[in-house]
Chain A
Amino acid sequence: MSRKLGAAALAGVLALAAGGCGGVGGGDDAGGTATSGTLSTMGFGLSDEIATSRVDAFKRDHPDVDLKITEGAFDEQQFLSAVASGNPPDLVYMDRKLIGTYATRGSIQPLTDCLDEQGIDMGQYRQAARDQVTLDGTVYGIPEFSQVRVLYLNEGLLKQAGMTADEVNLADWSGLPRLNAKLAKVPGGKLTRIGIDPKIPEFLPMWAKANGADLISPDGRTAKLDDPKVVEALSTGLKLIQDQGGFGRFKSFRDTFDFFGAQNPLTKNQIVAWPMEEWFLNQAAKNSPKAELAVKPFVDRQGKPLTMSSGQAWVITKGAKNPDAACAFVKQMTATDTWFAAAKARADARKAAGQPFTGVWTGNLAADRKIFDELYRPTGNKRFDDAVETVRKVQDIAFAMPASPAGAEFDKAWYDAVNRVLAGQAQPAEALARAQQEATAALDKAVK
């Protein structure tokens, strides 16, 4: 009854205020085993060979399972509509940072039985990825990719400034404004080249970690946003932006960048130093193989390499009609051999297109070792080969924001705080103090 009421309410809220949107669920087929029945997914797409080769492997090994993949990115409205109508998909592919919220509400299943029955060894996955899918010691998701952040440098522009990549020292926060001033170009108040992009709000957790602080406790229940070290990290990032003409000009210049094309900011010499996810390496290798790119680890204030990890995970929904097949699916999709076959398909595709293969970074440690030991071959372009090595090394030391019962509200609190600071509406300490209150209230309510 409550589910029907819920479905009606969803429609009601939309009818009253915003507008309608359809839901996609698991269909009417019920039941099944690991080797039969219907299996439905949401939030996943067959966009490339990494996805298709793994799905094909599952279909080959489970010919009696009718796999229904609703393609497209995870849409919380679509997911909740499906849950409310009592027709959820069996599997959902979602950002790992959402898992804590949905696990606390009981909309996704603990995978304890799944891990036992399928013999899935969680030890094969990276620690940072495991932290994000585990709440109160219970595993709720199986990690897929592992995205980490490294520092990209345009060495050609550094040379013009009379510097080398080794001289760029992110550990020396007091020297950053000076370095930034040397690298940036702001003629007549118009920003034409970014010196250092701190990438805030999104990378604030990494800057805070570099300063010895976490935004949230390891159990994901206590906000630490008003920690003076977090305030200092935000102030440091803010100064870098203010010194380049202010956030309005900085953002509008950055909004014109196309990181996915041949006219990327590296090629166009629009940026000198910026931390970013490792996927840009693939894009740069494909679009700008001759660019003078150098990649270094992001470092803490002691100069020790540091990176933040994130990514997607598979979860099995509460009310899944075929949890056995769902469990078999996630096991196969994230298994070492499956990842290896997918990476091989990627390498073959790149070779056929005459493009370099710079590896695939997954949440599975064993798979990554196999891919890089047995499949990956240096491209011969020293810059990119060194960059791949850097990414490999930092993968093993990555940290992640832990699963939190109020993950979405917690994220909104600190994102809003940084945005208020960037917009000039508040000072860092004031904005983070307010965020601390908002986050604490949300966390207290969630764990009540």
Chain B
Amino acid sequence: MTTTTVRTPTPGRRRRRPSLARREARWALLFLAPWIVGFLVFQAGPMIASAWLSLTEYDVINPPEYTGLDNYRQLMSDPQVARSLGNTVYYTALHVPLVMLLSLGLALLLKRVGRLQGFFRTVFYLPVMTPAVAVGILFLLLLNTQDGLINRGLALIGVDGPSWTTDPNWVMPGIVLMSLWSLGSTVIIYLAALQNVPRDLYEAASIDGAGGWARFRHVTLPMISGALFFTLIVNTIASLQMFTEVYTMYFGNRETQNTFNSDAATFYVIHLFQEAFQFLHMGYASAMAWLLFLIILVITLVQVKLSNRFVYYEGEEQ
């Protein structure tokens, strides 16, 4: 007869080996450390400083003077803020749905292309690589009322094209047209999402009698809803921060300021930039930046909340 003694580790006497999840978390933190440090130093720190400065009158040159909520009160009554915010929201409302629809259409077409798909993917993405300043200048030429390519094209079908860059009613549509130049990145995201939809789902749907539209509506859209949601968020944020192309087209720099600019092209971030760097109202500009941050935060939270109803994530725990 043998006696076996089973030793059970006594709590506290021997260190428990970390679980796999905990070890993974440590490694993750280690790899994330550079970004976290960068975020704290280059993002969080300046954001906190600008939050403080938004409560001051500050011209960058002299020490800030605490003024409480004056800047925020002024924001509420500044007609230029209301106008520029209105322009920005108008642009976002036009740009985001249009980019998403066109990109999805192009991605669906690209998916049907066989061996040349790689070539067309590159072609559609190339415009994204064009510097924003170059895009602004390019579209000033394309949108030229008398000799621009766009109005010449319209003339071929008997349409007298509008004054895209000077008529206040057409300035924004012109800018939206320009913004479509760089929809390639959204197309690529959608194409990747479309290619990840399992073929057997389409086969099963077909066997069940689903037609083309039904397959798109009940298979494709739910399966790529994650990508749609992602591009909705990213494009909305980018639209609310629109700056470089429009600044190049209508506002130039100090040397080229003698050009025409339009109230209809004054975006929120352009107004913010002017307040900060041309008029030296850095405290006020900080308040403007925080207002924009809050607007983006609220819109994003609403979108995230809505996404719970409309977005399908594979592998998600129900």
Q: Are A and B subunits of one complex?
A: yes
Q: How far is the CA of A425 from the CA of B282 in the complex (A)?
A: 30
Using a CB–CB cutoff of 8 Å, the interface residues on chain A facing chain B are 2, 5-6, 8-19, 73-77, 80, 83-84, 95, 98, 101-102, 105-107, 190-191, 201-202, 246-249, 251-253, 255-256, 318, 406, 408-409, 411-412, 415-416, 419-420, 422-425, 442
Within 8 A of A (CB), among B168-210: 168
Q: Which residue of B lies closest to A408 (CB)?
A: B278
B132 shortest CB reach to chain A, Å: 10
A425 cross-chain contacts in B, Cβ below 8 A: 168, 263
8 Å CB contact of B254 from A73, A106, A248: A73
The answer, yes or no, to whether B109 is at the interface (CB within 8 Å) is no
Contact of A416 with B263 at beta-carbon distance under 8 Å, contacts A15-B46, A18-B269, A76-B254 already known = yes
Q: How far is the CA of A13 from the CA of B145 in the complex (A)?
A: 36
B304 shortest CB reach to chain A, Å: 20
Q: How far is the CA of A106 from the CA of B140 in the complex (A)?
A: 38
Q: What are 21 A-B residue pairs whose CB atoms fall within 8 Å in the complex?
A: A5-B53, A8-B50, A9-B52, A9-B286, A11-B42, A12-B289, A13-B272, A17-B269, A18-B269, A18-B273, A80-B60, A80-B277, A105-B59, A107-B60, A201-B258, A249-B145, A251-B260, A412-B274, A423-B168, A425-B263, A442-B279
The answer, yes or no, to whether B165 is at the interface (CB within 8 Å) is yes
Contact of A422 with B49 at beta-carbon distance under 8 Å, contacts A12-B289, A18-B241, A249-B163 already known = no
B167 cross-chain contacts in A, Cβ below 8 A: 248, 423-424
A403 shortest CB reach to chain B, Å: 16
Q: How far is the CA of A422 from the CA of B282 in the complex (A)?
A: 31
The answer, yes or no, to whether B285 is at the interface (CB within 8 Å) is yes
B45 cross-chain contacts in A, Cβ below 8 A: 8, 12
8 Å CB contact of A247 from B148, B166, B285: B166
B273 shortest CB reach to chain A, Å: 6
Contact of A9 with B254 at beta-carbon distance under 8 Å, contacts A16-B292, A18-B273, A249-B145 already known = no
Q: How far is the CA of A163 from the CA of B167 in the complex (A)?
A: 35
Q: How far is the CA of A6 from the CA of B282 in the complex (A)?
A: 9
Q: How far is the CA of A12 from the CA of B46 in the complex (A)?
A: 4
Assess the A76–B166 pair: CB atoms within 8 A. Answer: no
**Most chain B Cβ neighbours within 10 Å, of A11, A18, A190, A246:** A18
The answer, yes or no, to whether B116 is at the interface (CB within 8 Å) is no
Encoded as 1 (CB less than 8 Å from any A CB) or 0, chain B from 133 to 171 comes to: 000000011001111100000000000001101111000
Assess the A8–B166 pair: CB atoms within 8 A. Answer: no
